[in-house]
Amino acid sequence: MDRHSRSARVVRRAVPLASAALAALASASRAAAHAGGVRSATRETVTVPTWLFLATGGAVVGASFLLASAVTDRAYIRRIDTWGRALPDAGRAARVLARGIGVAALLITVVAGLFGPVAPTENAAVLIVWVGWWAAFVLSAYLLGNAWPAVDPFRAIAGALPSLDRPYPERLGSWPATAGLLALVYLEVVTPMADDPRLLTGLVLAYLGVSVAGSVVFGADDWFVSADPVSRLLAAYGRVAPVARADDGGLRLRLPGMALTDAEWIDGRDDIGFVVAVVFVTTYDGFVGTAAWAGVARPLVEAGAPALLVYLLAMLVGYGLFLALYLVSARAARRTADTFLAPGELARRFAPSLLAIAAGYHLAHNLATALSLSPTLAVVLTSPLSPPATIPVLLVPGWVGGVGVAAVLGGHLLAVWVAHATAYDLFPDRLQAVRSQYGVTVAMVAYTMASLWIVSRPGGAPPFV
């Protein structure tokens, strides 16, 4: 559900508008060049051959594993893991305020989406969903803490309705959330959802409908904790953040990512499937914008295969590959670490570390969008139905693209450390703990190189759809 390619398109549309209205034509088109974000910035800054760029990224992760494995003091690792401070809980007023903001944002989205201007950069619905929510709010979920349960307007509305309280089928587990997440990203890729406010509003209303139905049948708690893809996604990102809810219910400040060493919330293969889906969707969204994908898809589409089917197949095959790579690499620890821990248990314990990687990707793909379009959002919000004629776009400096590359690497480094701490928690022998990470480290190197490759390709709109 990456906004990168689409928001780049949004910005490209903004340019002629802005240039017609403004004398500041030059700065606007430069903004557009930069709002291309990570891809354009890396194109400018990377002067080494692509293979060397990728190899360096992979080597940084590999070397960081070697460096982390030099830290062998159990007490020290645990101290980093458990360091924390209790934080005062947000008061009732703050909770009511958050709920109000959430519901108001949904209301504005629907009204502006249905009756506002059609141009995406002038429409509050498009900007609220893609800039305010997907770029900025999700960013805050893993950089600060997940406030979605407090804000969630879908839950506020659905929770106000009576429920039949049917028991949620346990065997479904997280698979509905995984399917929902993949479906949302699929729709985002194959439909012009960033360009068409009406379509976007239709999806938001449909999502509200599904949430209300699910909540009425199974009860709000069961639905939003287990099956709602957006709540699950933000909860997963929130585990990377320094501020999280502790077991006793109070807010607690920890070192970033250290909540990921706790895998109690991962109950089985379904939850592992969800975590891998979170990592996969950003990669998928980036990949379908590359020329390599066009090269793969063109013969198939020209041979008469429906483009929608080709995209669906690519998504399912890609997701299957990601999941298989992770499960195989976690299973490899059985051999490398010489342990009798079950393969499922190993996969379960190492899975949360992948979320640090996902957060790094998300930052890389969305920071430029969040920065460049947030003034646009602010100005459009002042008058959602008839926005001012001149709409500002923040000129994002080129180094922001470098921050994206650093975020991809930073996410992986955090993941390596989380895996290290997890291994120390699992294995009594420290050498065994080091060896248990061989498999997941190889998988992380593979993910890093794949995502850096996508980030270094010139991006574009997905073809044929």
Partner 1 sequence: MSRDDASADAASRAVDATSRAADATASETGDSGAAASAPATGARGRPAAPYDVPPGATAFTCSRCGRPFARERHRDLHLGQVHAELDGDERAAYEAARDEEADDLRRFRIVSLGMLVALYFGFLFLYAVAG
Is residue 431 a contact residue for partner 1 (CB under 8 A)? yes
- CB of 23 or CB of 70, closer to partner 1: 70
- CB of 339 or CB of 369, closer to partner 1: 339
Token pair 């400096």 in the structure block, residue = 397
The CA distance from 164 to 95, in Å, is 26
- Contact track, partner 1, 300-339, x by CB under 8 A: ----------------------------------x---xx
Which of residues 48, 86, 308, 389 is near partner 1 by CB under 8 A? 48
Is residue 438 a contact residue for partner 1 (CB under 8 A)? no
Stretch that binds partner 1, among 51-59, 121-129, 194-202, 380-388 (CB under 8 A): 51-59
> Residues 25-44, buried b or exposed e (16+ Cβ, 10 A)?
eeebebbbbbbbbbbbbbee
Is residue 269 a contact residue for partner 1 (CB under 8 A)? yes
CB atoms under 10 Å from CB of 19, counted, come to 16
Give least dist CB 425 to partner 1, A.
6
Is residue 404 a contact residue for partner 1 (CB under 8 A)? no
Which of residues 270, 319, 354, 368 is near partner 1 by CB under 8 A? 270
Helix residue spans in 22-152 (DSSP H)? 25-35, 38-45, 50-69, 74-82, 92-115, 124-127, 138-143, 148-151
The CA distance from 157 to 140, in Å, is 23
Which of residues 16, 26, 44, 66 is near partner 1 by CB under 8 A? 66
Give least dist CB 65 to partner 1, A.
9
Is residue 152 a contact residue for partner 1 (CB under 8 A)? no
Residues 6+ apart with CB under 8 A from 61: 409, 412, 413, 416, 441, 444, 445, 448
Which of residues 16, 44, 74, 166 is near partner 1 by CB under 8 A? 74
Going by C-alpha positions, the residue among 464, 441, 438, 396 that lies closest to residue 8 is 396
Is residue 117 a contact residue for partner 1 (CB under 8 A)? no
Residues 6+ apart with CB under 8 A from 332: 438, 439, 442
The CA distance from 208 to 111, in Å, is 14
Number of residues that bind partner 1 (CB under 8 A): 44
- Contact track, partner 1, 164-193, x by CB under 8 A: ------xx-x--------------------
- CB of 66 or CB of 96, closer to partner 1: 66
The CA distance from 147 to 98, in Å, is 8
Is residue 425 a contact residue for partner 1 (CB under 8 A)? yes
- 295 burial class (0-12, 13-18, 19+ CB within 10 angstroms)? exposed
Stretch that binds partner 1, among 21-29, 59-67, 251-259, 316-324 (CB under 8 A): 59-67
Give least dist CB 55 to partner 1, A.
7
Residue 251 sits at φ, ψ, to 5 deg, of -80, 145
Give least dist CB 348 to partner 1, A.
7
Strand 251-254's sheet: what is its strand order?
84-87, 251-254, 243-245
In the region spanning residues 342 to 381, those forming contacts with partner 1, defined by CB under 8 A, are 342-345, 348-349
Query: In DSSP terms, which residues pair with 252 in a beta bridge?
Result: 86, 244
The CA distance from 108 to 131, in Å, is 14
The CA distance from 317 to 324, in Å, is 10
- CB of 95 or CB of 269, closer to partner 1: 269
- CB of 56 or CB of 390, closer to partner 1: 56
- CB of 102 or CB of 273, closer to partner 1: 273
Give least dist CB 61 to partner 1, A.
11
Going by C-alpha positions, the residue among 177, 266, 168 that lies closest to residue 221 is 168
Which of residues 55, 217, 225, 446 is near partner 1 by CB under 8 A? 55
The CA distance from 138 to 121, in Å, is 20
- CB of 30 or CB of 78, closer to partner 1: 78
Is residue 45 a contact residue for partner 1 (CB under 8 A)? no
Residues found near partner 1 in the complex (CB under 8 A): 47-49, 52, 55-56, 59, 62-63, 66-67, 69-70, 72, 74, 170-171, 173, 264, 267-270, 334, 338-345, 348-349, 424-432, 434
